[in-house]
């Protein structure tokens, strides 16, 4: 599952709710201006693979992910 925010960034609480826990930022090598938020402990707790986010980040991503771009970037 992939959630995209372009106009307004989610709050930390909203992001934690979407990814199901602690939030970690992962960068996309193909889109370095984007921020991808994932569950920091996703692999430890056995979340399922997220094929779309994994391809976007060129690494193994599990669980729901959030893409922040344009005006929705976190500082």
The b-or-e profile of 16-31 (16+ CB within 10 A means b, else e) is bebbebebeebebeee
Half-sphere exposure for 49 (CA within 13 Å, toward CB): 9
pLDDT tens digit at each of 75 positions of the chain? 899 999 999 999 999 999 999 999 998 898 889 999 999 999 999 999 999 999 989 999 999 999 999 999 997
């Amino acid at each position: 599952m992939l959630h995209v925010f372009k106009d307004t960034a989610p709050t930390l609480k909203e992001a934690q709710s979407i990814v199901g826990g602690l939030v970690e930022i992962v960068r996309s090598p193909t889109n370095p201006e984007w921020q991808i938020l994932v569950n920091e402990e996703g692999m430890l707790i056995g979340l399922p693979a997220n094929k779309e986010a994994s391809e976007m980040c060129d690494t193994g991503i599990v669980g729901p992910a959030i893409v922040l771009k344009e005006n929705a970037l976190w500082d």
